[in-house]
Amino acid sequence: MTQTLVVLGAQWGDEGKGKVVDLLTDRVDVVARFQGGHNAGHTLVIDGRKTVLHLLPSGILHAGVECIIGNGVVLSMAALLREIHGLEERGLQLRDRVRVSGGCPLILPSHIFLDQARETTNRGGGKIGTTGRGIGPAYEDKVGRRAIHLAMTRNESDFSARLEELLDYHNFLLRHWYQQEEVDFAEARDEMLGQARELRPMIADSVDILHQRREAGHKILFEGAQGSLLDIDHGTYPFVTSSNTTSGAAATGSGFGPLHLDRVLGVAKVYTTRVGDGPFPTELFDATGEHLAKRGNEFGSTTGRSRRCGWFDAQAVRLATRINSISGLCLTKLDVLDGLERLKVCIGYREGSARDDSGQLQPVYEELPGWRESTNGARALEDLPANARAYIRFIEDTVGAPVDIISTGADRAETIILRQPFD
């Protein structure tokens, strides 16, 4: 029996995890985030209504589901409150089911300025194409043992002293390294203390809660953010995010022991996209790339940036399968390929071709026939054209993991479930 499941991105993010988590939440009691921050953008479409979540776990739209933000998440209190207020305006009751770990390092206003300064000036390495949400600088402070944890806001005078010292350091960098404006301490303190007071009832010992739920037999879903190839250790460094996005982080970022994680569902588009800079071996710059961008509506849900598009990279997803122990795949956006005459899948990279001028590996492709019929909204494998089924089978074989779910449209209902991950 599956009691706990990790759902994570097997590519460079934006694989459609939000929809899948929301779909599986029908069967779970708890959804927990364990890394990243509000750089994530999880889009859910329910009965035609679109919701984009950045920080709250994607289970939040299901009444009665407990939503946990684990210690591995870097927390912008402002972003969390914005999201809570937005959902409350729509009549959702959620404060009594959101639990935020007191161990979350806080994102300060200065982290955001530092992130943006690093991207716009050429100091401290080249541009990464970050989401500009302060994620990198906040994780730096965590590892540098300078971070302020959410729980530290409980003691307001202690919090103020810590904030003043950390802001001193950030302001030094902003002024002298980046030649930018400083952040005003009193303003930041008052703003953050106000936010902390509002969030206080939601601060919890999330480690204890998760284990209590596990011991009571509740089903728990761990929701990853970004994608495996953006992992700080295993991704396309330095063009990565600043957290571990792979399954081990579900344990460290929540306090759940790794042997309590039963299965890992890797979510991958049937093609590939990437936002931000960095290597992308199968990237397309032609009409097919435009087709994917247009049909797939490939614009970042956090920043609105256009996503780069390319063929499915089985080599990359195979790597993701290994480093995450992916037990099953969820393939998304199958319908975006409808109408393409021929499809290519990258099955490896050309031997000995190190890197070409553009810094990209040379992919080796296998060509497969496309299909003309619409797969949009299909709910059973038998409804798919034979070539679509063959394409999926090919992915399964080259990646080396079974396909459990196929998504054929944005709505929760537009899904083919071959094997229920929570069996």
Provide the token pair at 371: 């299909």
The SS3 assignment for 337 reads helix
Region of 38-46, 85-93, 160-168, 252-260 interacting with ligand IMP (CB under 6 A)? 38-46
Q: Does 39 bind ligand IMP (CB under 6 A)?
A: yes
Sole binder of ligand IMP in the list 14, 313, 338, 414 (CB under 6 A): 14
Instruction: Give residues 309-338 in contact with ligand IMP (rule: CB under 6 A).
Output: none
Region of 36-44, 82-90, 246-254, 288-296 interacting with ligand IMP (CB under 6 A)? 36-44
Region of 174-182, 223-231, 346-354, 376-384 interacting with ligand IMP (CB under 6 A)? 223-231
Pairing, β 312-313 against β 220-227: unpaired
The SS3 assignment for 405 reads strand
Distance CA(309)–CA(273), nearest Å, equals 4
- Given the residues 38, 42, 149, 234, the one annotated as active site: 42
CB of 322 to ligand IMP, least distance (A): 21
Q: Does 225 bind ligand IMP (CB under 6 A)?
A: yes
Largest pairwise CA distance in the chain:
66
CB of 129 to ligand IMP, least distance (A): 5
Provide the token pair at 386: 């034979």
Instruction: Give residues 269-308 in contact with ligand IMP (rule: CB under 6 A).
Output: 275-276, 302
Q: Does 11 bind ligand IMP (CB under 6 A)?
A: no
Helix (H) or strand (E) holding 5: strand 4-9
Q: Which one-letter amino acid corresponds to residue 28?
A: V
Length of the chain as a residue count: 423
Name the closest residue to ligand IMP (Cβ).
276
Could you please report the per-residue DSSP string of 365-378?
A: EEEEE---S--TT-
Provide the token pair at 187: 């303003």
Q: How many residues bind ligand IMP (CB under 6 A)?
A: 21
Could you please report the per-residue DSSP string of 39-90?
A: T--EEEEETTEEEEESSS-TTTTSTT-EEEE-TTS-B-HHHHHHHHHHHHHT
- 260 in active site: no
Region of 61-69, 78-86, 92-100, 133-141 interacting with ligand IMP (CB under 6 A)? 133-141
The SS3 assignment for 403 reads strand
Nearer to ligand IMP, 4 or 241 (CB): 241
- 14 in active site: yes
Chain center to CA of 20: 12
Q: Does 58 bind ligand IMP (CB under 6 A)?
A: no
Distance CA(286)–CA(272), nearest Å, equals 15
Strand order in the sheet with 415-417: 203-204, 98-101, 66-69, 30-33, 220-227, 4-9, 263-269, 328-332, 403-407, 415-417
Q: Does 130 bind ligand IMP (CB under 6 A)?
A: yes
Nearer to ligand IMP, 133 or 344 (CB): 133
Region of 60-68, 127-135, 204-212, 318-326 interacting with ligand IMP (CB under 6 A)? 127-135
Around 155, how many Cα atoms within 13 Å sit in the side-chain half-sphere?
7
Sole binder of ligand IMP in the list 7, 10, 13, 183 (CB under 6 A): 13
CB of 244 to ligand IMP, least distance (A): 12
Sole binder of ligand IMP in the list 226, 321, 375, 408 (CB under 6 A): 226
Q: Does 40 bind ligand IMP (CB under 6 A)?
A: yes
Binding residues for ligand IMP, per CB under 6 A? 13-14, 39-41, 128-131, 133, 135-136, 225-226, 230, 239, 241-242, 275-276, 302
Please identify every residue annotated as catalytic: 14, 42
